[in-house]
Amino acid sequence: MATFFGEVLSVYSRAVEEDDEDLDENEEDEQIRRELEGKREVCLHWNPEVSEALRSGNKFHCSDFILASGVNASRFLSVYILTSANWDTVGHASVWNERSRPLNGQTSEESACVFYRHKDNPSLLICQVTCYIAEDQLFQWAEKVFDCLQHRDLKVTVLSDSSVADYRTADCLCNSSVPFLRSLHTTNYSGLPVCPSLEQPNIVTGLPAAVLNHCQVHHIAAVVYQCYSDIIGPDSVTMETYKPALTRLGKSIQLDWSPSADVFRKFVKTADIQSNLYI
């Protein structure tokens, strides 16, 4: 602007500076958002043999894929199936989010979920998931995992933990009936479920729901067995409830119907007294 005597002076414009600050903040926010999106991406890590096969375009020829979602579902597989020496670890998935927690001295990546393949029958694949997977990661997880599997003749069995407090029914639940199983399957599933179907208005949520939805869209035979229990932590009775779900795989998978006490002690920890409501 000009003074009375015609001298030109530079004038401080706060509006221009605020616009520059907003632009810098928007760019910084965008960079942080991109970094978070990259960090939250689900990454699959396979052993060298599997990685080479996938790079060559050879997907897993899988006849049965068993997914265990939750502590009791996962430890059921550990106690009754994976204790045998017939399984190889073939990979794991890294899933980072706001609730990621390492387990048993493992890194969060290693404890996210682990894939096992049967040595004598490589068409059998097992996945244990004991970590939290956020909503924006669920369908990403399903797409990436199933993109590695051949869909022809594929059968998917999902074992899922749920609290009995989330079960909606007009009838009274007796203590003797808990824990119990309910099932939900895709239209392509032709088998006979080993338990009653999940009644309305009950729903399946989380990773089991994402997997079931993916299988329904891609015409894959899949069934979810949801175990409703009044025990949140590892519990031997809740684990045993899953037994009927794998009876149809009896010829393919050898279940240890009577695990030793040492095996149970390894996977079932005594409940912490601080978590007991009635002391």
> pLDDT tens-digit profile of 139-157?
999 999 999 999 999 999 9
Checking if the pLDDT of 223 tops 50, the result is: yes
Q: What is the mean pLDDT of residues 64-90?
A: 90
At residue 86, the pLDDT reads: 85
Angle at 231 between CA 160 and CA 97, to 5 degrees: 55
Specify whether the CB–CB gap between 138 and 144 falls below 8 A.
Answer: no
CB atoms within 10 A of CB 216: 15
pTM for this model (two decimals): 0.81
- With 80 as the cut, is the pLDDT of residue 273 above it? no
Comparing C-alpha atoms, which of 242, 47, 248 is closest to residue 160?
A: 242
Phi and psi, residue 72, nearest 5°: -70, -40
Domain extent listing, the chain = 40-271
The pLDDT value given to residue 1 = 53
CATH code of the domain made up of 40-271: 3.40.50.10900
